[in-house]
Amino acid sequence: MNSLATPGSGPGVSTVATLRPAGYPPAERGRVRRLVPETGLQAAIWALVGACVLAPVVPLVYASVQSQPLYAPGRTFTLAAYRQLFTDPAFRTAALNTLEFAAMTTACSLVLGAGFAVLCSRTDVPGRRVYSRLFIAPILLPPLGLILGWNALYGPGGYAHDFVTATLHLPLNLTSVPGMAVLGAAVAVPVVFLICQAALAGTDAALENSARSVGASPLRVLGRVTVPMLRPALLNAGLLVFTLSIESLGIPLVLGSPQGHDFIASYLYNTWSSGFTPDPPVVSAGATVLLAAACLLLVLRGRLLGTQARFVSNGGRGTTAAGGLHLGTLPRWVLGTLFGLYLAATTFAPIAALALSSVVTELTPLIAPWHLFTLGNWQTIGQGTFAHSIVNTVEIALAGAVVTAAVVALATAVAHRSGFRLRRSLPFLMLFPRSIPGIIIGIGFFWTFLLVNPPGSALRSSIWGIMLALSVRSLTIAYFVMSAAFATVSESLDDAARSGGASWWTAMTRITLPILRPALLVSFVLLFISILNDYDPALFLVTPGHEIMGVSMLQALQGGTTGPVAAMAMVQVAITIAAITVAGRLFTTRIRGNRHA
Amino acid sequence: MPDITVAGLSKAFGQERALNDISFTVHDKEFLTLLGPSGCGKTTTLMSIAGFQRPDEGTITCGDRVFFDQASKVDLTAQDRNLGIVFQSYAIWPHLTVFGNVAFPLRIRKVTKDSLRRRVLETLELVEMAGYAGRYPHELSGGQQQRVALARALVYAPAVLLLDEPFSNLDAKLRERARDWLKELQHTLGLTTVFVTHDQDEALSMSDRIVVMNAGRILREGTPEEVYRQPRVRFVAEFLGRCNFLTGAVGTGPDGDAVLTTAEFSEGITVHGRHDGPSATIAVRPEDIEISSGIQLDAPGTGTEASVLHASYLGDHYHYRVAVGAMQLSVHSQRPLAPGPVRLRIPPGVATFVD
């Protein structure tokens, strides 16, 4: 070989003589590497993600064109299920209700979310930094807890119902479609807020400043420059909220359904669980229709926005318009107060009502709560199915978050940092579950577990089937976090490892992913919260003894139990807040201890 | 160290021809520079050698090992090529200490703990970073990071060292020091090196041989003196420093040398070598033109009349824009001259023909 070392003079070369080539092998030549070639590993990751994402979809469509449920013998191909679906007046009503709900939810959340985002990032509303964080809260809180809190506060016979309708003269009927849309909008505002805020942070404030410099008044700039520039973001947010709204299951199940106001998802769930035949093909047909609508919206969104999700870089640039828009003392404080009242009414008061109803026998405006104080609800959930489901949920959320975070991290590495042939399909595969209604994942995996056995029946008769379904549903969140994180790490870092002799696997696991530790942590925590609080798919997969919190809560609610359910919801809220707090702590110490210049 | 031979390399990005029939050889212990403006294909060439770009055609061999051969479908992965690279961004891993960064290639190679430690510290001492083994990259200056990157590329005694504009992130003073230091290290260790830069000063001061590239092609190859003195191609002459171009009729002088005559230089400019064809263009460096105050030297035959249009002081010399007839020339001189009439003389042999 070569002679690296020639003894000589000069700076720092006194040790040259010892720097002889040590006869190192040129690169990794381990047995593992020869047995599992790089491409094989990447293909395995790709196949795993593909199988998990498509598993619920394919059997569902198949089940919808069969004459009998998939477990029944003598099935034939037929479109009867679709005919039955479209001729059922109850389905038509449910579909109209769903559209009305989705349209109202979208409109309200767009106005509020965009308004909050513009006011918080472009004006001097007092407390706008704190508000910016609090507006996001409903997205992290357990959805079922929020619904139950709203019901306890504003529902028929709710604690504040009379105050709102009689004293404030607001015609709020939470069990009607518009009433449910008010709650839907409150839950969707964070989505709009986040998208608009990112768009505002990404647009150069110089555009607005230049309008000011040519003589436009601040208010005019807001109306003529800032808001029009938000149009793509509003379109994106609107389509996303609409897609999320048409699959709503919890809201109608708790509020509308008992009063006969069904949505498509609740109609399908009720038909599934209480029809003449168990699991009829008509439910699969309905779910397929819902899936088609969701896919159509996804394609539409892709067309309108360009297929590549663009990540806005918001570092270094002067982000805020110089000084922002000065509102004047009175409007400032009026708006600041209104923000506070909005947050109190939509988020804090419902959670407080939930907490209160977990420690009383009955929450009613007629009797002071301290006369009805009880710890019975908490004792009830400390045992039996409730306690069991809490343990199950935490297990699922922990294991699901760990596995999903790892798989998504590797899949993102294949998608963005490999030469694998099919890598470009991975981002689509990982974005897809966000657009699949939860009920479809539930029904789809139900059929998949039935058709693919093993491991189908083993998964079905344990909590791990539910874990798989909930993990698939949540994996898009992790992909969002990881793909943005990968974009911040220069590819030359892994190239340096490759040229140093590392295989793709070694470069990823020893260099790139360790650098991305903070992002992995964020992705884990978000997955944990998401899986912890999710329940839609589990409604179709649950078997006795393997309940999770959301499912046992809904089942108890249908049996008329409210107090213990409120206590369960508070447990969800508490775990969620604890997870965010712990992660926040870990995150800041890590950043401080390991700040990469 | 083995030679690296690149032959017939071509690559297209869509319609754009990024590389067009690139061939050169880097000899043992040689410091070869790929020089050219951004987008000329120099980095693409380097990354093809490293294994991060896949050419469309051609071969790359290192000694008797074939790295890439389109004809026989050989494409060794980057980790199997055993090359050391210093990236433009240094690509120091932020989550590892200096020691961890340099040790990584040895850990991959399953080097035993003791010899790993010894080897890493030796290499760090070589780049004068032994005192910084426990530091994290963000605690280092740009120049120190560069040394760590170099140590990491050298620690496993790679066959060839590849450098991708390693000085572009350093300030001017530091850059000059780093240049001398790296050249000395390369020379002492006898490292076969391929260096990519767009900076002519770096190329001229460090290289044994320079390959000048533009628009995916090699325009000139030779030692720094050859490339600078006989650029042969107009682009090369312009890219390596300032240059004046004169076009005129070619004749033959009394001692067989070519003589170029233009309207401005009617007495002719003697150019070593021959040129076929009736007219040609020559390149003359501004520092090769003799300039003197026209008032004292008015004897005929001692130069061409000209006048200084503009003078700028650059510290170690003056730069003059001079009008000769209808054309303007750049002239460098140590002497201060007032704007006004001067005389110019182009000595025999300083000019060369260019295409």
Domains in chain A: boundaries: 60-310, 378-597
Q: How confident is the model at residue A221 (pLDDT cuts 50, 70, 90)?
A: confident
Cα distance between residue B298 and residue A325, in whole Å: 73
Report the distance separating Cα A187 and Cα A347, nearest Å: 9
For residues A288 and A285, give the distance between their C-alpha atoms in angstroms, rounded to a whole number.
Answer: 5
pLDDT in tens, B109-137: 889 999 999 999 999 998 889 999 999 99
Of A242, A299, A297, A7, give the one whose Cα is nearest residue A101: A242
Query: pLDDT tier at A321 (50, 70, 90 boundaries)?
Result: very low
CA dist A572 and A152 (Å) reads: 17
Q: Per-residue pLDDT for A280 more than 90? A: no
Q: What would the mean pLDDT of A332-347 be, rounded to a whole number? A: 92
Categorise residue B347: left if φ over 0, alpha if ψ from -120 to 50, beta otherwise: beta
A593 pLDDT above the threshold of 70 = no
> How far does the CA of residue B225 sit from the closest CA of chain A (Å)?
25
Using the predicted structure, report yes or no on whether residue A466 has a pLDDT greater than 60: yes
- CATH topology match: A60-310 vs A378-597: yes
Rounded CA-CA distance A478/A471 in Å is: 10
Instruction: Look at residue A460 and give its three-state secondary structure.
Output: helix
Q: In angstroms, rounded to a whole number, what is the distance separating the alpha carbons of residues A457 and A465?
A: 9
- pLDDT top residue among B192 and A23: B192
**Confidence band (pLDDT; 50, 70, 90) for A5?**
very low
Contact state of B50 with A2 under an 8 Å Cβ cutoff: no
* Partner residue opposite B104 with nearest CB, options A19, A490, A500: A500
User: Which CATH number fits the domain A60-310, given the four candidates 2.60.40.420, 1.10.3720.10, 3.40.50.300, 3.30.413.10?
Assistant: 1.10.3720.10
Torsion of CA A254, A255, A259, A265, to 10 degrees: -70
Q: Measured between alpha carbons, how far is A412 from A513 in angstroms, rounded to an integer?
A: 10
Tell me if B79 and A28 make a contact (CB, 8 A cut-off).
yes
Sequence-distant (6+) residues with CB within 8 A of B59 are B5, B6, B7, B8, B9, B66, B68, B69, B70, B71
**Two tokens, residue B297:** 């030297």
A373-406: pLDDT as tens digits: 888 888 888 888 889 999 999 999 999 999 999 9
* Inter-chain touch A15–B106, beta carbons under 8 Å: no
How confident is the model over A305-330, as a mean pLDDT? 51
Mutant choice from A15, A499, A505, A513 vs B, greatest count of B C-beta within 10 A: A499
Total residues found in chain B within this entry? 355
Residues A474 and A528: their CA atoms lie apart, in Å, by 9
CB contact under 8 A, B108 and A501: yes
Omega before residue A455 within 30° of 0, cis: yes
Q: Which tokens in the block code for residue B310?
A: 């503009």
The full DSSP string for B112-149 is -HHHHHHHHHHHHHHTT-GGGTT--GGGS-HHHHHHHH
Q: What is the mean pLDDT of residues B65-69?
A: 93
In degrees rounded to 5, what are phi and psi of residue A508? -70, -50
Least Cα separation, residue B84 to chain A (angstroms): 7
Ranges of each domain in chain B = 4-237, 242-348
CATH class of B4-237: alpha beta
Chain B residues with CB inside 8 Å of A417's CB? none
Mean pLDDT of B264-281: 83
- Could you say which of B1, B88, B125 has the minimum Cβ distance to residue A15? B125
**Amino acid code (one letter) for B67:** F
Q: Of B211, B208, B177, nearest to B191 (Cα)?
A: B208
Residue A26: closest C-alpha in chain B: B82
User: From B181, which residue of chain A is nearest by alpha-carbon distance?
Assistant: A11
Question: Best interface-test mutation with A: which of B44, B67, B75, B79 has the largest number of A CBs within 10 A?
Answer: B79
Provide the 8-state DSSP code for A535: -
- Put simply, the answer to whether A6 touches B188 (Cβ < 8 Å) is yes
Radius of gyration of chain B (CA): 25
The CATH homologous superfamily to which domain B242-348 belongs is Nucleic acid-binding proteins (2.40.50.140)
pLDDT tens string A513-538:
999 998 999 999 999 999 999 998 99
Least confident of A211-225, B183-197, B334-348: A211-225
ipTM: 0.79
Q: Is B8 exposed, middle or buried (0-12, 13-18, 19+ CB in 10 A)?
A: middle
DSSP 8-state code for residue A309: P
Q: Which residues of B touch A2 (CB under 8 A)?
A: 1-2, 28, 157, 159, 190, 192
In B, minimum Cα distance to A493 occurs at B91
Domain at A378-597: CATH code: 1.10.3720.10
- Per DSSP, B162 falls in state E
- pLDDT (tens digit, 9 = 90+) per residue, A93-136? 999 999 999 999 999 999 999 999 988 888 888 888 899 889 98
Residue burial B255-292, b: 16+ Cβ < 10 Å; e: rest:
eeebbbbbebbeebbbbeeebeeeebbbbbbbbbbebb
List C-alpha distances in Å: A210 to A206, A220, A226, B30: 6, 13, 12, 56
Domains B4-237 and B242-348 equal at CATH topology level: no
Q: Do B185 and A13 touch (CB under 8 A)?
A: yes
B176 contacts B167 by C-beta, under 8 angstroms: no
Answer whether B106 sits within 8 Å of A24, measured CB to CB.
yes
Which residue of B104, B116, B129 is the best one to mutate when testing the A interface, meaning the one whose CB has the most A CBs within 10 A? B104
